[in-house]
Amino acid sequence: MSVFVHKHSRVIIQGLTGQHATFHAEEAMANGTTIVGGVTPGKGGMSHLGLPVFDTVCQAVEETGADVSGIFVPPPFAADAIMEALEAGIGVIVVIADGIPVQDMVRVKRYAADRDAVIIGPNTPGIITPDACKVGIMPSHIYTPGRIGVVSRSGTLNYEAVQQMTALGMGQSTSVGIGGDPVNGTDFVTVLRAFEEDPETDAVIMIGEIGGPQEVDAARWARENMSKPVVGFVAGVSAPPGRRMGHAGAIIAGQADTANAKMDLMEELGVHVVRNPALIGETAHRVFS
């Protein structure tokens, strides 16, 4: 099974003809992903990487039956591209673009509220179900099929954890990067719920960062709703304090907004917290076996 993307997913790439999109679409196809087309406004009718290019997402969906989209368009155009994918009925939208204005994402989330779709990102390396489907920019070769779900805010820290797992013989069911932006499509809870319901996932590694209540909310949700064990880490223990936004940031954040405070709370809520990022794999190995 896996979560959100699997070997039957039919993927289109919005912005396919761009340089990064081209590189990563080729890499994904070489690693088993079914990409069925691309969308670049004004280039409809062209063929790129042997794939049909369409002017609009609607046309692409009608012609190819796509149900997943990877968004590689530049940040100023990304909000519009996400809404276009939502309107066309795409079920899983992966937003690679990094640098989308926060208020654009606030509007996107409002638009998505009454539509049944999962938005992953923005500012994410993407999502990968090893050897079945990759929508993103991560190096496929570090991932191996397995039974552990990985969810993280950071991209490179996701790679770090995965490599530590692989070195100890643990593979991944699906690895999801939810992205590092303050307003993002999918939060930790949504991904944990999907992993809990997935019969091919036995345990979860959750990697967070300073800022925001998401990790603690997820730990609280897990305590009430999850039967599978969760190993957690929060980056930023050594990050400088005081880079905050006026008083309102502190009011919103409350007291639990340092990495250590978050990890303490997560531990109280039953997450197996690892304090040294170099030992994520080792801790997971010990807890899960």
| Active site members | 247
Helical packing angle, 214-225 and 259-268, nearest 10°: 10
Least spacing, CB of residue 63 vs other proteins, in Å? 30
Q: Which of 29, 58, 256, 279 touches other proteins by CB under 8 A? A: 279
Q: Are 172 and 149 in contact (CB under 8 A)?
A: yes
Q: Verify binding: residue 158, other proteins, rule CB under 8 A.
A: yes
Q: Which of 8, 50, 243, 289 touches other proteins by CB under 8 A? A: 243
Q: Verify binding: residue 283, other proteins, rule CB under 8 A.
A: no
Least spacing, CB of residue 68 vs other proteins, in Å? 20
Nearer to other proteins by Cβ, of 46 and 189: the residue is 189
Q: Verify binding: residue 8, other proteins, rule CB under 8 A.
A: no
Q: Which of 132, 151, 218, 259 touches other proteins by CB under 8 A? A: 259
Nearer to other proteins by Cβ, of 8 and 247: the residue is 247
Q: Verify binding: residue 33, other proteins, rule CB under 8 A.
A: no
Nearer to other proteins by Cβ, of 60 and 273: the residue is 273
Least spacing, CB of residue 102 vs other proteins, in Å? 5
Q: Which of 42, 224, 242, 289 touches other proteins by CB under 8 A? A: 242
Q: What is the 3-state secondary structure (H, E, C) of the chain?
A: CCCCCCCCCCEEEECCCCHHHHHHHHHHHHCCCCEEEEECCCCCCCEECCEEEECCHHHHHHHHCCCEEEECCCHHHHHHHHHHHHHCCCCEEEECCCCCCHHHHHHHHHHHCCCCCEEECCCCCEEEECCCEEEECCCHHHCCEEEEEEEECCCHHHHHHHHHHHHCCCCEEEEEECCCCCCCCCCHHHHHHHHHHCCCCCEEEEEEECCCCHHHHHHHHHHHHCCCCEEEEEECCCCCCCCCCHHHHHHHHCCCCCHHHHHHHHHHCCCEECCCHHHHHHHHHHHHC
Q: Which of 139, 145, 171, 270 touches other proteins by CB under 8 A? A: 139
Sequence-ordered list of residues with C-beta below 8 angstroms from that of 227, at least 6 positions apart, any chain: 196
Nearer to other proteins by Cβ, of 1 and 106: the residue is 106
Least spacing, CB of residue 279 vs other proteins, in Å? 7
Q: Which of 4, 143, 159, 221 touches other proteins by CB under 8 A? A: 159
What residue ranges bind other proteins (CB under 8 A)?
20, 24, 75-76, 98-107, 109-111, 125, 137-139, 142, 152-160, 163-164, 167, 180, 182-183, 207, 209-214, 217, 233, 235-240, 242-243, 245-252, 254-255, 259, 275-279
